[in-house]
């Protein structure tokens, strides 16, 4: 019979290995204040901090020890390979013609830290493996992070031309949201709003006469805010855009295995997520509305699926 502590250690370890998201959370340099300069957790520093915080009681010491042990597999995995090292390993495998290995390694690098270049290369590797849907999804995610990535944009056009696929049908505010990285719009909207509010309020509070430049900055801030709102909304609606991953994916009438197939979708065909039910998602393509299996549809922003439905 395993001791309780060892049992918990094993359970946490298996959880971390089975759930890439959990690994990502543990490894993200922004999650912990005790991260090193290279962006990885320093176990000793983090463990000692926990111990110092709880050292006055025996219970606290036991909890800190348990947390330290639980973090051990996480930190050992983190020190095994950095996103940069995985990126280089993937590029080496790609140049050697081992596209399956390259895709696997690029994907690991992206799980540790999403990067536009890694997503671009992942798309290339998937394209070489003839996984059109996964390749288009990866290139779209590269543009999602960095719309200035011309290589990914060119590859998307190339793939869509070759596979005779359409690009997602975007509304005007969604097109505007593609001009800058998606994370920028929220900051631009917030900063411009508060800049306008500040320029309107602060001169009075600080007993200063409202100068022309105060009002000009406030007006510019308000204008930028109003202009960024449509893009902000566009990012929100683009969260539901995804791509069919497998070729000849049946679009079902109902979310059941025996459901009648309305049509069959090509890999890489764009669609919008409407809602989720069980292992099926309701998507709307340019042609039809229907259900596909969850694994057959990949969202540009994968977290959205949990909120949908």
* Shortest Å distance, C-beta 200 to other proteins: 10
Cβ closer to other proteins: 79 or 151?
151
Please give the order of strands across the beta sheet that includes 241-244: 261-265, 249-252, 289-293, 280-284, 270-277, 241-244, 297-299
Return the H-helix or E-strand segment holding 95: helix 83-95
Q: How far is CA 67 from its chain centroid? A: 27
**Nearest partner of 125 among 161, 94, 84, judged by Cα:** 94
Given the complex with other proteins, which of 10 and 202 has the nearer CB atom?
A: 202
Phi and psi for 147 in degrees, rounded to 5?
Answer: -70, -10
C-beta of 185 vs 291, nearer to other proteins: 185
Q: From the CB of 295, what's the least distance to other proteins, in Å?
A: 18
Output 11 or 157, the one with its CB closest to other proteins. 157
CB 66 to other proteins: min, Å? 26
The one-character DSSP state at 226 is H
Nearer to other proteins, 47 or 133 (CB): 133
CB of 8 to other proteins, least distance (A): 27
Strand partners, 298: 243
Closest approach, Cβ 176 to other proteins, in A, equals 15
What are 205-212's contacts with CB under 8 Å, separation 24+?
none
End-to-end CA separation in angstroms for the chain: 43
The answer to whether 69 and 13 have CB atoms below 8 angstroms apart is: no
Q: Who's near 256: CB < 8 A, 6+ residues apart?
A: 280
Instruction: Please report, as ranges, the residues that interact with other proteins according to CB under 8 A.
Output: 24, 28, 30, 83-84, 87, 91, 94-95, 97-98, 109, 113-118, 120-121, 124, 127-128, 141-142, 144-146, 149, 151, 154-155, 157-159, 161, 181-183, 185-187, 190, 194, 197-198, 201-202, 204-205, 232, 235-236, 239, 300-304, 307
Radius of gyration of the chain measured on its C-alpha atoms: 24
Shortest distance (Å) from residue 24 CB to other proteins? 8
- Give the sign of the dihedral formed by CA 67, CA 69, CA 70, CA 74: positive
Q: With both helix axes pointing from N to C terminus, report the angle between 116-128 and 150-163 in degrees, rounded to the nearest 10.
A: 30
* Nearer of residues 96 and 288 to other proteins, judged by Cβ: 96
Q: Which is nearer to other proteins, 1 or 206 (CB)?
A: 206
- The residue (of 238 and 252) whose beta carbon lies closer to other proteins is 238
What residues contact residue 45 under an 8 Å CB cut-off, 6+ apart?
34
| Least spacing, CB of residue 120 vs other proteins, in Å | 5
CB 170, min distance to other proteins, A:
16
């Amino acid at each position: 019979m395993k001791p309780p502590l060892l049992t918990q250690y094993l359970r946490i370890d298996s959880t971390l290995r089975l759930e890439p998201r959990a690994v990502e959370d543990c490894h993200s340099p922004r999650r912990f204040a005790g991260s090193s300069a290279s962006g990885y957790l320093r176990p000793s520093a983090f463990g000692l901090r926990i111990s110092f915080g709880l050292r006055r009681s025996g219970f606290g010491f036991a909890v800190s020890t348990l947390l330290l042990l639980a973090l051990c597999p996480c930190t050992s995995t983190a020190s095994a390979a950095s996103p940069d090292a995985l990126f280089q390993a993937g590029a080496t495998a790609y140049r050697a013609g081992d596209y399956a290995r390259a895709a696997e390694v690029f994907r690991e690098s992206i799980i540790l830290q999403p990067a536009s270049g890694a997503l671009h290369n992942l798309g290339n590797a998937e394209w070489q493996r003839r996984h059109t849907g996964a390749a288009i999804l990866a290139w779209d995610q590269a543009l999602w992070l960095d719309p200035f990535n011309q290589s990914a944009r060119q590859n998307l056009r190339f793939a869509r031309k070759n596979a005779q696929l359409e690009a997602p049908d975007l509304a005007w505010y969604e097109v505007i949201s593609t001009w800058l990285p998606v994370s920028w719009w929220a900051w631009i909207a917030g900063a411009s709003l508060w800049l306008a509010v500040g320029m309107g309020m602060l001169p009075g509070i600080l007993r200063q006469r409202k100068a022309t430049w105060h009002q000009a900055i406030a007006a510019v801030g308000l204008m930028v805010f109003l202009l960024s709102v449509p893009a902000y909304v566009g990012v929100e609606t683009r969260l539901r855009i995804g791509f069919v991953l497998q070729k000849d994916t049946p679009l079902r009438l109902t979310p059941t295995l025996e459901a009648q197939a309305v049509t069959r979708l090509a890999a890489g065909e764009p669609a919008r997520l409407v809602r989720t039910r069980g292992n099926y998602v309701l998507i709307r393509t340019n042609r039809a509305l229907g259900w596909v299996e969850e694994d057959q549809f990949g969202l540009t922003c994968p977290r959205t699926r949990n909120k949908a439905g």
